[in-house]
Amino acid sequence: MSPHNIPTLESLGKVHFIGIGGVGMSAVARIMVARGVPVSGSDAKDLPVMADLAAAGARIAVGYAAANLADAQTVVAGSAIREDNPELAAARRAGLPVLHRSQALAATMGGDTVVTVAGTHGKSTTTSMITVLLQAAGLDPSFAVGANIPALGVNAAHGTSGIFVAEADESDGSFLNYRPRIAVVTNVEPDHLDYYGTAEAVYESFDRFTALLPADGLLVACADDAGALALAERTRARGNTRAVLYGTSEAADIKLDDGGPGNVAVSTGGARYSLSLQVPGRHNALNAAAAFAVALELGVEPAAAADGLASFSGASRRFELKGAARGVRVFDDYAHHPTEVRAALTAARSVAAGNKVHVLFQPHLFSRTREFAPQFAEALNLADTALVLDIYPAREDPIPGVTSQLIADHLTHGGRLVSAEEAVNVLAGAAGDGDIVLTVGAGDVTAYGPRIVEALRA
């Protein structure tokens, strides 16, 4: 199905989700149920979100079997679902339309005013900030985010205001399936080269993304990021869409004044508004400025927009506190690109306030490790202790000669490759009162935080 003929919600009939327990899939299913669509779904494991969906009225099965399709008229398949999955194979044989999650979400948006957030990093946090801000300002947006948001309680909900805020994923080109009126681009950097092949193809896809904006649409882009700034300039040159720039640079229309924790403000139209942010790091101050820009476009008063950001407490796995023991705080972060790792460690430095920062990093994907090994090491060298685990393969087969040693080779002051068994004990032994320990990566490294807290207690 081409992105130009996204189906209407009414035309889908009964919708069956294969892989409904995934964070992105459950988000779409949750909103469809709330909008009156008959929903069924299955997953290999019984995940907590599936009980929520069943309670909301979805028919849920655990384990995959062709019979689970029942009388479904449209199928949505998660990106991890293989062609030999019995439900997908049965749907293909029956000639049922099979949608990508992004197409199903686009159909769900219907006639709402759509705000999509794209960018190589910061999407989940910025989408969440916009949602929390709009809720605080008395608007009730629908939203779909790619992470669980403690401040919201869920990662998706149906709202009554006719505004729909969604994270738009560029990793597989699916962000081109949406029809936004406001598009936020936090940054544009080469990533996901396993899908795109070249940096040029990444930039071109973002041009296609901004080309989706209507004549009365708005691009909100970060002036501090070279890729986003160039995208905004190209968009303005096309002449059919407005662009608002935010950031600390001279080019910004919404100027960020980041004086560090407790001293962040934005200026627009000659007036200055303080932001009280609960989340550390300059990257989060920039994300907040993007949310502020979107709120102004949607008619929220600037002072109310600034106040609304105070209730944002962070997204899960984005510098998330996992516990503390012996005066050591342990955080976890999903960072899996060198720019994100640098941002997480810079935030850790500011939170550590002069004490030491110890990091456990798990590279995600062989292709990304091959592409960025020296840049990962350069970012990790901001820590006092940098330990690296074996690569988390996710969807990839090994690439000969590509291991975590490619990163370890560039680490300074004692950084090294460690086994899973060593990692916890080494970090618990290295950290002292006031220090920060950070587990970093998109794989199962998130499970190590609680184990490090236990080891510190022991």
> Which one has a higher pLDDT value, 106 or 351?
106
What is the Cα–Cα distance from 446 to 145, expressed in whole angstroms? 19
> Which one has a higher pLDDT value, 351 or 284?
284
Query: Residues 373-398, buried b or exposed e (16+ Cβ, 10 A)?
Result: bebbbbbbbbbbbbbbbebbeeebee
Find tokens 């807290």 and name the residue: 453
Q: Where in 211-313 does DSSP place strands (E)?
A: 218-222, 242-247, 254-258, 264-268, 271-275
**What number is the average pLDDT over the span 275-279?**
81
pLDDT at position 335, please? Answer: 80
Sign for the CA dihedral angle at 396, 397, 400, 405 comes to positive
Q: Classify residue 317 by its DSSP letter.
A: T
| pLDDT per residue as tens digits for the range 163-221 | 999 998 766 667 888 899 999 999 998 765 666 668 788 888 899 999 999 989 999 99
Q: Which domains does the chain have, with CATH numbers?
A: 3-102 (3.40.50.720), 111-311 (3.40.1190.10), 320-457 (3.90.190.20)
Q: Classify residue 348 by its DSSP letter.
A: H
Q: Classify residue 364 by its DSSP letter.
A: B
What pTM was estimated for this model as a whole? 0.69
| pLDDT per residue as tens digits for the range 233-245 | 999 998 878 999 9
Q: Would the pLDDT of 271 be above 60?
A: yes
What is the Cα–Cα distance from 364 to 390, expressed in whole angstroms? 9
Q: Taking Cα atoms as reference points, which of 242, 118, 288, 129 lies closest to residue 187?
A: 118
What is the Cα–Cα distance from 63 to 58, expressed in whole angstroms? 16
pLDDT at position 1, please? Answer: 39
**What number is the average pLDDT over the span 379-401?**
90
| pLDDT per residue as tens digits for the range 288-328 | 999 999 999 999 999 999 988 887 765 555 667 788 888 99
